[in-house]
Amino acid sequence: MIQADNLVKKYGTEVVFENISFEALQGSFTIIQGKSGSGKTTLLNILATIDEVDGILKIDGVSIEKLNEHQRAKFRAKNIGFIFQSYALIPEFSIIENCTIPLIMDGMSKQDAIIQAKKVITKLIPEADEQFFTKNPTQLSGGQQQRVSIARALIHDPKIIIADEPTANLDEVASKEVKQWLKELSKEKCIIVVTHEKEYQKYADFLYEFVDDTTKKAKSVLKGPVCLKDF
């Protein structure tokens, strides 16, 4: 599903990492771990097609390094769902509007988008009613916001889900629930999660880890994949 080779990232003269490879399959749950500043988020931005690629990156057979900014944006809007640590819901829009953005932008009619969004939200938040849908994101608890954020990530049925510390701001119960969902989703989709939490190793299939580069050529190197489950 995702195949990356010889990826290089530099900020000026500072080399964050160079010549790293990464692979994630469809129907798998991959986690990326490492200490702060090791390059996890940088890699995530590349895998999510947000940053330009220096190296080879193929997602679902498409060479991402050959695409320009707008083509990459179009690609990720269609193929990737995002879950953020800070939920990233837009405060000017209601819950339902936040969730329908990917569908409406894809050209679906507002009515159809609302019907589909309601279905997905109700699946994740069974207690959600009409009043809930029209609420502003700031009126919800952290757990509820993250569930809405997951609903938005799933609404257009993407092949890949990329998440950055999705449970960092949640309590233990909500955190477990989200991890379980991600595990469930990984049966069909390619799930990539950047996280500090060791707990994820219980749920994930593969682990990549950023460690310090002992050769001092770059800041860190990516080790992996480590298989976390018996197939």
Q: Which residues bind other proteins (CB under 8 A)?
A: 41, 44-45, 48, 50-51, 69-70, 73-78, 80, 82, 84, 86, 88-93, 101-102, 104-105, 107, 110, 164, 194
Q: Parallel, antiparallel, or unpaired for β 80-83 and 160-164? A: parallel
In the complex, the smallest distance separating the C-beta of residue 89 from other proteins, rounded to whole angstroms, is 8
Residue 39 token pair: 């390059």
In the complex, the smallest distance separating the C-beta of residue 136 from other proteins, rounded to whole angstroms, is 13
* Residue among 52 and 176 whose Cβ is closer to other proteins: 52
* Residue among 105 and 226 whose Cβ is closer to other proteins: 105
* Residue among 42 and 175 whose Cβ is closer to other proteins: 42
Q: What is the DSSP secondary-structure string of 22-69?
A: EEE-TTEEEEEEE-TTSSHHHHHHHHTT-SPPSSEEEETTEEGGG--H
* Residue among 10 and 229 whose Cβ is closer to other proteins: 10
In the complex, the smallest distance separating the C-beta of residue 146 from other proteins, rounded to whole angstroms, is 14
Contacts of 177 (CB under 8 A, 6+ apart): 143
In the complex, the smallest distance separating the C-beta of residue 76 from other proteins, rounded to whole angstroms, is 4
* Residue among 107 and 126 whose Cβ is closer to other proteins: 107
Decide if 181 contacts 150 (C-beta within 8 A).
yes
Q: What is the largest CA-CA distance in the chain?
A: 58
Comparing C-alpha atoms, which of 133, 144, 141 is closest to residue 99? 133
* Residue among 92 and 230 whose Cβ is closer to other proteins: 92
In the complex, the smallest distance separating the C-beta of residue 102 from other proteins, rounded to whole angstroms, is 6
Decide if 75 contacts 58 (C-beta within 8 A).
no
Angle at alpha carbon of residue 100, lines to 99 and 102, rounded to 5°: 95
Q: Which helix (H) or strand (E) holds 190?
A: strand 190-194
In the complex, the smallest distance separating the C-beta of residue 129 from other proteins, rounded to whole angstroms, is 24
In the complex, the smallest distance separating the C-beta of residue 94 from other proteins, rounded to whole angstroms, is 10
Instruction: Show the DSSP H helices in the chain as ranges.
Output: 40-47, 69-79, 95-105, 110-124, 130-133, 142-154, 172-185
Residue 107 token pair: 């050209």
* Residue among 104 and 228 whose Cβ is closer to other proteins: 104
